[in-house]
Amino acid sequence: MALFRRNRTTVGLDIGSGLVKAAVVDHGKDLPELVKVAVTPLGADAIVDGEVMDPALVADAVRETLHAAGVKPKGLVVAVGGRDVIVKRIRSERVPEAQARELMRFEAEQHVPFDMDSVQLDFQILDPEGEGREMTVLLVAAKRELVDAKLRLLGEAGADVALVDVDAFALHNAFAANYPDALEGVVALANVGHDVTNVNILDDGVPALTRDLACGTRRVREDLQREHGLSSREAEQLLRAGASDPRLDAVLARHAEDIAAGVERAAAFLESASRSAGPLRALYLCGGGAQIPGLAQAIAGRLRVNVEAASPLAALAVRDGALDDVDAAAVAPLLMLPIGLALRAAA
């Protein structure tokens, strides 16, 4: 669903439930280089369950973030995601690419549970050189109102958008750039955010299935407060402690089960629906929840596959000073999405 900008520098902007994050990547050299990262906190109720409750506050945070990143508010790459975005790999009659768009609209009517007049539709033929009678296509549909709402919000901040991408593709973009050797077979990438965990199932490096799970760091913190009488600050300190704690372990077990079950169901569906997909081989975690002590181990115990944290800085070139304004170790797992957006290379 991506277009490519001709400017050498790309700015990826991620408006999350708790933070606004910007990443600036320079494509002028042989390999992309991270130039600057900026992060601005949002008020606790500015965005709830993906819905913007205070547009003015969010717009202010966007302006502040872009100013801190040292970039002008134009030519941005942003993303949409959630229940109103469908990513699906399908099999279709092989036709010349020039005829494919008309065919994909027909296919979308069979596979997408939205009114076709209300969506932005795009696709990519995954085997364009194939010789069989069928081709494999990655079909993407996003409700137009979701895209329009994102553009309106950024318009309030005085920002110009060059490209609206999809969360799952941006996460995949950053993961593939940093972990090229991990793309073989079926792997899952889970972005454990403030309110929602985005699950992206990759099959031989191609996004094949996405799911959004209604669990995130906010609910872990609220359960700690309710069950152990902790203040919000005390609960947050437990989540950032870097070591296990008995009060956290019991709460974490439930949330790890929710994430593991969601990943397991998505991978099983892909395996049953695909002619070639095998069982889940590994799970990689990113987002703020990836830092919760014991979460990866709890999920691994449930899924019985390797589970580890993924960083968008694992193999990316980073310019001196790019991370001076942030705690790199703490922020890195949060940057998978904005860096994935910014990695859209110049054409």
Question: What CATH number is associated with residue 102?
Answer: 3.30.1490.300
Of 37, 64, 59, the C-alpha closest to 46 is: 59
Would you say residue 273 lies in a domain? yes
The token pair at 271 is 């395996």
Q: Which among 124, 143, 162 is the end of a domain?
A: 143
Range of the domain at 112: 85-143
**pLDDT confidence of residue 346:** 45
Number of domains in the chain: 2
Q: Give every residue of the chain whose pLDDT is below 50, as ranges.
A: 1-6, 346-347
Same domain, 209 and 123: no
Please state the pTM of the whole predicted model. 0.89
**pLDDT confidence of residue 257:** 94
Q: Which among 143, 177, 192 is the end of a domain?
A: 143
Same domain, 154 and 288: yes
Same domain, 26 and 102: no
Same domain, 63 and 118: no
DSSP label of 44: T
Same domain, 153 and 297: yes
Same domain, 111 and 158: no
**pLDDT confidence of residue 157:** 93
Would you say residue 338 lies in a domain? yes
Of 89, 82, 127, 144, the C-alpha closest to 111 is: 89
Please name the residues in contact with 71: beta carbons below 8 A apart, sequence gap of 6 or more.
9, 11, 22, 24, 36
**pLDDT confidence of residue 314:** 94
In the Cβ-directed half-sphere of 305, how many Cα atoms lie within 13 Å?
18
Q: Give the CA distances from residue 149 to residues 11, 142, 171, in Å, rounded to whole numbers and listed in that order.
A: 20, 12, 21
**pLDDT confidence of residue 240:** 81
Same domain, 109 and 247: no
**pLDDT confidence of residue 49:** 67
Same domain, 173 and 266: yes
Question: In DSSP terms, which residues pair with 10 in a beta bridge?
Answer: 25
**pLDDT confidence of residue 76:** 95
Same domain, 248 and 207: yes
**pLDDT confidence of residue 67:** 96
Would you say residue 70 lies in a domain? yes
